[in-house]
């Protein structure tokens, strides 16, 4: 049985015509390391019980919290900033949007949201100024005041993360960069959100959902807290579709990233977990199915960097 499967895969790997089989074959190999029994889940390539996974993930992020941003920049060579910018562009929030950023830890998405909403507001004001030629000093000063005291239109962002350390780092960053209004920090579990139903316009989870023990519960909670018409956005590492890039990516992930983790953050194991957890996360279409199962409609995904990262989007209608 194993021999015949092996033969099929060998033929697939060496045949130019059967490119699809090639990716399935590769998927089988890495997927095989991620198969688990009932009540168990995967922590990278290790098999652990579901309760253990939560604790282990907590310890991983507790230890990397202070160096998280530096590591992100060095591992992705700064490209993670572009990915997050693209996520915000896809979100295209207008002033007045209520955003819930889950697993938002150090606040990257929240700060980008605030900048985006502010620049939209500035743009709107400029449009207004162009049309009204005669503005009194009072009106001009009022527009400056509004900008500085609170977020335009009553926009709000709540950053929720299960890890206190990550939120502490995020809060310090916020103070350092001067973000104070319209931004709140809450320690909470994505599987059991401390928010009421139908509260938020947008729910984002960036590079967090693969660390959640019960992804389906997190998706159901996302559905619950969103307002009707609300949007679910998930930015996550996914499966690469190009075979050459996939090989380079695997090489980089398993040879370079843990070494960087050891040099910069002094933590080889956490970054080994990181690259393994990426391999064990479902592929784009499978995750799309999970999002649809939670009740979201018009679920789409968009690959970035040939599938290294994918943005999944769904609506609660």
Partner 1 sequence: MYPECLISGARRWLSRTMRGRYVSAAAAANSPFPGAAPRRFSDRQKDQEQPKAFDPALLEFLVCPLSKKPLRYEASTNELINKELGIAYPIIDGIPNMIPQAARMIDRKAQDEEPKQT
Nearest to 261 by CA among 110, 117, 253, 103: 253
Q: Which is nearer to partner 1, 15 or 92 (CB)?
A: 92
Q: What's the angle, vertex CA 71, arms to CA 70 and CA 73, rounded to 5?
A: 65
Distance CA 108, CA 88 (A): 11
Q: Which is nearer to partner 1, 81 or 247 (CB)?
A: 81
User: What are the phi and psi torsion angles at 301 (to 5°)?
Assistant: -135, 155
- Binder of partner 1 out of 2, 131, 137, 228 (CB under 8 A): 137
Binders of partner 1 in range 31-90 (CB under 8 A): 82, 85-86, 89
Contact mark string toward partner 1, 188..207, x via CB under 8 A: xx--xxxxxx-x--------
Does 233 contact partner 1 by CB under 8 A? no
Which tokens hold the place of 289? 């199915």
- Binder of partner 1 out of 141, 242, 255, 306 (CB under 8 A): 141
Distance CA 172, CA 166 (A): 10
- Neighbouring CB atoms inside 10 A of 69's CB total 17
Q: Which is nearer to partner 1, 10 or 144 (CB)?
A: 144
Flag whether 69 is marked binding. no
Q: Shortest distance, CB of residue 138 to partner 1, whole angstroms?
A: 8
Q: Shortest distance, CB of residue 45 to partner 1, whole angstroms?
A: 27
Q: Which is nearer to partner 1, 122 or 286 (CB)?
A: 122
Nearest to 237 by CA among 290, 276, 294: 276
Flag whether 303 is marked binding. no
Q: Do 259 and 272 touch, CB atoms closer than 8 A? A: no
Element (H, E) at 141: helix 137-149
Which tokens hold the place of 14? 């060496």
Which tokens hold the place of 129? 């100024």
Q: What's the angle, vertex CA 140, arms to CA 143 and CA 148, rounded to 5?
A: 30
Contact mark string toward partner 1, 7..36, x via CB under 8 A: ------------------------------
Distance CA 74, CA 193 (A): 32
Sequence-distant (≥ 6) Cβ neighbours of residue 168 within 8 angstroms: 65
Q: Which is nearer to partner 1, 123 or 247 (CB)?
A: 123
Q: What's the angle, vertex CA 64, arms to CA 72 and CA 98, rounded to 5?
A: 65
- Neighbouring CB atoms inside 10 A of 177's CB total 12
Flag whether 101 is marked binding. no
- Binder of partner 1 out of 15, 49, 51, 119 (CB under 8 A): 119
Q: Do 290 and 216 touch, CB atoms closer than 8 A? A: yes
Q: Shortest distance, CB of residue 82 to partner 1, whole angstroms?
A: 6
Q: Which is nearer to partner 1, 2 or 149 (CB)?
A: 149
Q: Shortest distance, CB of residue 187 to partner 1, whole angstroms?
A: 4
- Binder of partner 1 out of 142, 251, 293, 317 (CB under 8 A): 142
Flag whether 110 is marked binding. no
Contact mark string toward partner 1, 152..191, x via CB under 8 A: ------x---x-x--xx--x---x--x-x---xxxxxx--
Q: Which residues are annotated as a binding site for S-adenosyl-L-methionine?
A: 106, 161, 189-190
Task: List interacting residues with partner 1 (CB under 8 A).
Answer: 82, 85-86, 89, 115, 118-119, 137-138, 140-142, 144-145, 148, 158, 162, 164, 167-168, 171, 175, 178, 180, 184-189, 192-197, 199
Q: Which residues are annotated as a binding site?
A: 106, 161, 189-190
């Amino acid at each position: 049985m194993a021999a015949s499967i092996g033969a099929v895969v060998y033929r697939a790997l060496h045949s130019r015509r059967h490119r699809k089989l090639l990716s399935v074959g590769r998927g089988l190999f890495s997927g095989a390391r991620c198969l688990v029994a009932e009540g168990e889940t995967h922590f990278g390539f290790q098999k652990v019980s579901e309760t253990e996974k939560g604790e282990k993930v907590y310890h991983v992020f507790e230890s990397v919290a202070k160096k998280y941003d530096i590591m992100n920049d060095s591992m992705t060579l700064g490209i993670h900033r572009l990915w997050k910018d693209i996520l915000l562009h896809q979100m295209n929030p207008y002033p007045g949007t209520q955003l819930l950023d889950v697993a938002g830890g150090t606040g990257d998405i929240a700060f980008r949201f605030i900048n985006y909403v502010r620049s939209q507001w500035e743009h709107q004001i400029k449009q207004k100024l162009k049309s009204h030629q005669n503005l009194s000093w009072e009106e001009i000063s009022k527009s400056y005041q509004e900008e500085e005291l609170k977020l335009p239109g009553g926009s709000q962002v709540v950053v929720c993360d299960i890890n206190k350390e990550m939120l502490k780092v995020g809060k310090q960053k916020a103070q350092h960069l001067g973000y104070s209004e319209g931004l709140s920090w809450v320690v909470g579990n994505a599987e059991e959100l401390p928010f009421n139903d139908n509260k938020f316009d947008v729910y984002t989870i960036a590079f967090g959902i693969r660390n959640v023990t019960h992804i389906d519960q997190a998706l159901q909670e996302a559905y619950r807290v969103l307002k009707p018409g609300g949007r679910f956005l998930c930015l996550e590492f996914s499966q690469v579709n190009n075979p050459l890039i996939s090989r380079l990516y695997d090489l980089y992930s398993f040879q370079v990233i843990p070494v960087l983790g050891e040099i910069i953050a002094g933590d080889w194991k956490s970054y080994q977990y990181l690259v393994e957890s990426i391999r064990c996360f479902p592929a784009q279409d499978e995750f799309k199915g999970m999002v649809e199962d939670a009740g979201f409609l018009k679920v789409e995904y968009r690959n970035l960097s040939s599938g290294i990262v994918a943005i999944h989007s769904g609506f609660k209608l």
